[in-house]
């Protein structure tokens, strides 16, 4: 039976994508001497809007979407599940990566312009960005570090569904304690704590818990309490670790965005736009750095004011939407191609898999 679509998730996915794009745009402007300091969504009173805050919301949304659509996984369905996740992430990633790799290889005059081809194995697995702290000389130039984290979360998801049914409280306590423990220096981890898989798992798990207790957590007084705490931490500096503040902010904003989205998505005039943005949001995440780098590179010899940067940001968004739309269409053509369907049937040994998983294809953007 087809589940009712959670319209608010499209709104949340759109807002999260916008915040991440603006944050990265502000990063470039604020670290380039000749550009003005772009004020929007770069920092708040207790940290930054990037991986400290908005990415946590993104992971919570991913966990909530996936658990809503696939709350129970049997061993016999694991192959179908993992293939569905592969289809949702990698074909578009490979397509865009190969295009940009070819461009860079032609410009550099050699295929292996950035060192050993062995590091391409990281790209093949989508881990080049996530493991760039360990292997900095690789072929990572598209997407985000959290693509690799998302791959890990998808791999672990069947285990998380098992934990949700059998040891929910214990799992919550362990992941929460693991995240809290990163407040203190940890010599065991090379990766920065915001990107630590424990933190990503905790955010993802909280999204799953939201679906499990949605009727309670979507109450107005709960949203007001957590959302109010988030707004306080955003606007008022407090003497706490910014890393811990970010956890509170992301939880509060998640509930706040969900509540706000539930009302906004009732407006028929704006609903199609948010649904469209949600549909192409994964392509937006993949392309944002490339597009804004190219656009801002055109103005590298000029001094820019904040007003000029705002105009460039609008143009950047338009181009990101354009190329994301094209990428989604090309990706869909590839997924529907005869050779890909043949490959799919070969891997799953199920000629009617397309019919069985039509719901999965429709909802793949909701479970990213």
Distances (CA, A) of 161 to 150, 167, 205: 16, 10, 10
Q: How far is C-alpha 64 from the chain's CA centre?
A: 13
**What pLDDT, on the 0 to 100 scale, is given for residue 114?**
77
Average pLDDT, the chain: 89
pLDDT, tens digit only, all 368 positions of the chain: 567 889 999 999 999 999 999 999 999 999 888 888 888 999 999 988 887 788 999 999 999 999 999 888 888 889 999 999 999 999 999 999 999 888 888 887 788 887 778 888 998 999 988 988 888 888 888 877 889 999 999 999 999 999 999 999 999 999 999 999 998 887 788 888 889 999 999 999 999 999 999 999 999 999 999 999 999 999 999 999 999 999 999 999 999 999 999 999 999 999 999 999 999 999 999 999 999 989 998 998 889 999 999 999 999 999 999 999 999 999 999 999 999 999 999 888 754 444 434 444 544 544 45
Examine residue 2 and state whether it is found in any structural domain, yes or no. Answer: no
Annotate 114-148 with b (16+ C-beta within 10 A) or e (fewer). Answer: beeeebbebbeebbbbbbbeebeebbbbbbbbbbb
Strand partners, 304: 35
**What pLDDT, on the 0 to 100 scale, is given for residue 9?**
95
Task: Compute the Cα dihedral for 178, 182, 186, 190 and give only its sign.
Answer: positive
Examine residue 172 and state whether it is found in any structural domain, yes or no. Answer: yes
Whether this prediction's pTM lies above 0.85 is answered by: yes
pLDDT digits (tens, 9 = 90+) for 80-114: 999 999 999 999 999 999 998 888 888 877 888 87
Q: How many domains does the chain have?
A: 1
Examine residue 328 and state whether it is found in any structural domain, yes or no. Answer: yes
Examine residue 53 and state whether it is found in any structural domain, yes or no. Answer: yes
Tell me the residue range of the domain where 171 lies. Answer: 7-363
Examine residue 173 and state whether it is found in any structural domain, yes or no. Answer: yes
List all residues 6 or more positions away from 105 whose beta carbon is below 8 Å from its beta carbon: 111, 113
Q: Tell me the pairing of strands 43-44 and 47-48.
A: antiparallel
pLDDT digits (tens, 9 = 90+) for 18-49: 999 999 999 999 988 888 888 899 999 998 88
Examine residue 232 and state whether it is found in any structural domain, yes or no. Answer: yes
Examine residue 1 and state whether it is found in any structural domain, yes or no. Answer: no
pLDDT digits (tens, 9 = 90+) for 165-187: 999 999 999 999 999 999 888 77
Examine residue 118 and state whether it is found in any structural domain, yes or no. Answer: yes
DSSP-derived letter for residue 71 is S
List all residues 6 or more positions away from 269 whose beta carbon is below 8 Å from its beta carbon: none
Q: Is 320 left (phi over 0), alpha (psi -120 to 50) or beta?
A: alpha
């Amino acid at each position: 039976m087809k589940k009712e679509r959670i319209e608010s998730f499209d709104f949340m996915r759109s807002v999260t994508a916008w915040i991440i794009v603006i944050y990265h745009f502000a990063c470039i402007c604020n670290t380039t001497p000749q550009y003005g300091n772009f004020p929007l969504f770069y920092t708040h009173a207790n940290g930054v809007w990037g991986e400290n805050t908005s990415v946590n919301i993104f992971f919570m949304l991913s966990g909530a979407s996936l658990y809503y659509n696939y709350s129970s996984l049997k061993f016999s369905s694991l192959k179908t599940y993992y293939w569905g996740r592969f289809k949702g992430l990698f074909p578009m990633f490979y397509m865009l990566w190969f295009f940009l790799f070819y461009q860079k290889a032609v410009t550099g005059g050699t295929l292996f312009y950035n060192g050993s081809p062995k590091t391409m194995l990281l790209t093949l697995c989508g881990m080049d960005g996530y493991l760039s702290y360990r292997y900095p000389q690789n072929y990572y130039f598209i997407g985000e570090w959290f693509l690799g984290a998302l791959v890990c979360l998808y791999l672990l998801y069947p285990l998380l569904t098992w934990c949700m049914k059998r040891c929910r409280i214990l799992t919550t306590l362990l992941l929460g304690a693991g995240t809290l423990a990163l407040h203190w220096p940890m010599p065991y981890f090379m990766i920065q704590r915001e990107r630590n898989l424990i933190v990503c798992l905790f955010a993802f798990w909280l999204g799953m818990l939201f679906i499990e207790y949605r009727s309670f957590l979507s109450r107005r007084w709960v949203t007001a309490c957590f959302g109010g705490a988030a707004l306080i931490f955003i606007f008022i500096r407090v003497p706490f670790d910014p890393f811990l503040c970010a956890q509170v902010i992301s939880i509060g904003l998640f509930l706040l965005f969900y509540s706000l989205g539930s009302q906004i998505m009732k407006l028929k005039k704006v609903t199609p736009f948010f649904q469209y943005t949600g549909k192409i949001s994964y392509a937006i995440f993949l392309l944002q750095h490339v597009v804004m780098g190219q656009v801002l590179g055109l103005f590298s010899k000029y001094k820019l004011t904040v007003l000029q940067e705002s105009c460039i940001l609008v143009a950047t968004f338009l181009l990101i939407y354009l190329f994301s739309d094209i990428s989604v269409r090309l990706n869909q053509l590839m997924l529907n191609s005869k050779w890909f369907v043949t490959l799919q049937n070969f891997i799953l040994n199920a000629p009617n898999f397309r019919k069985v998983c039509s719901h999965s294809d429709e909802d793949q953007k909701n479970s990213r």
